[in-house]
Structure 1
Amino acid sequence: MSAGRSVTVRAPAKINLHLGVGAPREDGFHPLMTVYHAIGLYDDVTVADADDWAVEVSAVGGVDVSAVPLDDSNLVVRAGRALVAHHGVRRAARIRVRKGIPVAGGMAGGSADAAAALVALDRLWDLETSDADLFDLAAGLGSDVPFGLVGGNALGTGRGEVVEQLPGADVPRWWVVVTAPAGLSTPAVYRRFDELSPDAPAEPRAPHRLVAFLSDPADAVAPLLHNDLQPAALDLRPELADVLAAGEAAGALRGLVSGSGPTCVFWCADADAARAVAGVLTEEHGSDRVLVATGAVAGAHVVEYDR
């Protein structure tokens, strides 16, 4: 990216502390009742003026970015086009994405990029988009994009795009993240969910107990973590069950599949416990695939602003 005015925005990965899934709606989307939690794995999105839209993607650590599109189908370009259409201006940008969030890993990396792009381009062009309009644009891009704007802990309803911030974000949480050598298709996981859960309710049950316990000690929260998509992900990728069992045997309070998978995440009592669990899992999976992260962290925010 050439020298000149640019803005860099950082956005976090998400974990679903609770993911309740209902039967498909008439529009094909599944109603969700989820508790989002942002953790300290990040993508950085840098934008600068250009004559035409362009995307560059690079990896942080061992993240495989080979499947990330570099054309207009990338969510960052869709975000940019939606923003300029909203304001009725003719602009384009070159967008550089540095990915530290696993790709197709159930951690909403693409959605984080879209949220970051909205914020970065709004700052770059001094558009002063209202928060309400940013959330509307984010919701039009994808179910997880609005949460990418707010971070912390949040309740997600609708198809996940309606977010309400929750307490407990100031309580440090420690996670071990184990990525998979290959991604898992979110639509495929939902199709398998439908096959495995023909009697899914029209509306999933609200996680009242988890919300009430969000500020409590880690061992009190652990039994309340839940993911309705986990059986479908494990059915498609049975080896993930061994990863979950190994992490819990190593001392994690709870292991679960993140979102639609295949990333596995482990809720740990504290920093020492997380490092111990990571050490055991690294022996099997290697240091590139085992990460330690904290939560909850802020949503999309400017980290560099050059004029």
Structure 2
Amino acid sequence: MSSSRPRSVHVRAPGKINVFMRVGSLLEDGYHDVATAYQAVSLYEDVRAEHADDFSVAVQGTVDTSGVPTDDSNLAIKAAKLLAKATGYTGGVKLTINKHVPVAGGMGGGSADAAATLVACDALWGTELHREKLHALAAQLGADVPFALTGGTAVGLGRGDELSPALAQGQFQWVLALADYGMSTPEVYSELDKHRERHKQDIFPSEPQPNVDANVLQALRAGDPRMLAEALHNDLQAPALHLRPELAEVLEAGEEAGALAGIVSGSGPTIAFLAPDLDGALEIQVALSAARMTALKVTGPVHGARIVHD
């Protein structure tokens, strides 16, 4: 190890909102292909990596972290071990995660931790992998990890990890209504399959390989919140509301407070409200807070996992 190697590396990675999500039909392997448009928003995870002989992670933050594992099942530990294996690095790492993205909230917080860990360990260990190689490792860790690495606005196909950047102009103002509980992604997908079975007489059958609607991409490209509000869509919203009916009241409250539209992010339970502008976002945040909800104002798009020079 060269003496110029850093003693610790701090990386920040963003949470995400799925502004569009279509889920394909259930495949034989038990998974679904998706077509999603991701936007990285200004709610971040902070990961600090320090040299160690073995692999460990400590988790703290402004959200409830009691459900986050600190053993080998933690996605950040998996990321560090995957990078060590891929590069032949023989040491370990001590990770400290400061979480601000809600746990199991449909915003990809764990994926952001994994992406930040890849960047942090690569810099700490001096393994200097090309971005494409880091991206390939990220894809092995989960569908949302490559997006947390790149950030911005992107279209995800396949399992969500086949990414292509989407042009987005200007900034979108969002207000997030955070729940004090998490939701299980597999459970929400399972409920979607049941929902489709229950309503198969009334709804069009889902395609195996869905696509993102052109009007979503047009709205992002135009930087037009009103146009985007018309195009917001999430196939997982109905099953999430079925499992947690109280989310319907949150959606109603945000729209009454002036949101152009509200959408369940990913598999929920976080709800993202699109505001017409900054003043509108502040009004929505104040109204939801007055109704005793946890509401955060964020903007998007923002960049992906980056080293922070303290």
TM exceeding 0.5: yes
Displacement, 1:202?
A: 1.0
Q: In structure 1, give the amino acid aligned to 2:101.
A: I
Alignment of 1:203-214 (within 5 A): 203-214=209-220
Normalising by structure 1, what TM-score? 0.94
Q: Is the 8 A contact 2:155 2:212 kept in 1?
A: no
DSSP-derived class of the 1:70 partner: coil
1:27, distance to aligned residue in structure 2 (A)? 2.4
Q: What does 1:36-47 correspond to in 2, within 5 Å?
A: 36-47=38-49
For 1:27 and 1:212, the matched residues in 2 are separated by: 34
Work out the CA distance in 2 between the residues paired with 1:66 and 1:57.
9
Q: CA deviation at 1:200?
A: 2.4
Kindly state the Cα deviation for residue 208 of structure 1 after the two structures are TM-superposed. 1.4
Measured in 2, the distance between the counterparts of 1:176 and 1:132 equals: 33
Name the residue aligned to 1:153: 153
Look up the match of 2:173.
Answer: 174
Does the residue aligned with 1:64 lie in a helix, a strand or coil? coil
- What's the % identity of the aligned pairs? 46
> For the residues of structure 2 that align with 1:19 and 1:106, how far apart are their CA atoms?
12
Residue equivalent to 2:188: 189
Letter in 2 for 1:52: D
CA–CA distance in structure 1, aligned partners of residues 11 and 300 of structure 2: 18
Mark the runs of 5 or more structure 1 residues left unpaired by the alignment: none
Tell me by how many angstroms 1:197 deviates.
Answer: 1.6
Q: Secondary structure at the match of 1:110?
A: helix
Q: Distance between the aligned counterparts of 1:130 and 1:95, measured in 2?
A: 22
1:279 is aligned to: 286
Task: Name the structure 2 match of 1:53.
Answer: 55
1:293 aligns with 2:298: yes
1:100 and 2:105 matched: no
Q: Aligned partners of 1:24, 1:108: CA distance in 2, in Å?
A: 22
Aligned residues: 297
Corresponding position of 2:249:
242
Q: Indicate yes or no: 2:230 matched with 1:223.
A: yes
TM-superposed CA distance for 1:206, in Å, is: 2.8
CA distance in 1 between partners of 2:29 and 2:89 (Å)? 31
Distance 1:214 1:93 in 2: 39
2:55 and 2:77 in contact (8 A); partners too: yes
1:285, 1:31 → 2: CA distance?
A: 37
Shift of 1:205: 3.3
SS in 2 for 1:22: strand
* In 2, Cα distance between equivalents of 1:154 and 1:241: 28
Q: 1:15 aligns with which of 10, 17, 30?
A: 17
Alpha-carbon offset, residue 130 of structure 1 = 1.3
Aligned to 1:88: 88
The residue matched to 2:291 in structure 1 has which SS?
helix
Task: String of CA shifts for 1:60-104, please: whole Å, max 9, x gaps.
Answer: 2xx110000011110000000100111122121000000010100
| Structure-2 separation of matches of 1:29 and 1:79 | 22
- Distance in 1 of aligned mates of 2:162 and 2:91: 29
Q: Does the 8 Å CA contact 2:55/2:93 hold for their aligned counterparts?
A: yes
TM-superposed deviation, 1:283: 1.0
Paired with 1:24 and 1:136, the residues of 2 have a C-alpha distance of 25
Q: Which residue of 1 aligns with 2:208?
A: 202
Pairwise CA distance, 1:189: 0.2
Q: Secondary structure at the match of 1:214?
A: helix
Query: How many Å separate the matches in 2 of 1:206 and 1:80?
Result: 33
* Alignment partner of 1:121 is 2:121: yes
5+ residue gaps, structure 2, are 1-5, 198-204
CA distance in 1 between counterparts of 2:100 and 2:112 reads 11
Deviation at 1:213, TM superposition (A): 2.0
- Assess if the C-alpha contact under 8 Å between 2:47 and 2:97 holds in 1: yes
Instruction: Give distance in 2, aligned partners of 1:242 and 1:104.
Output: 20
Report the more deviating stretch, 32-41 or 197-206. 197-206
Q: Deviations over 1:211-245 (max 9, x none)?
A: 12213221121100100000000000000011001
Deviation at 1:207, TM superposition (A): 1.6
The TM-score, its normalising length taken from structure 2, stands at 0.94
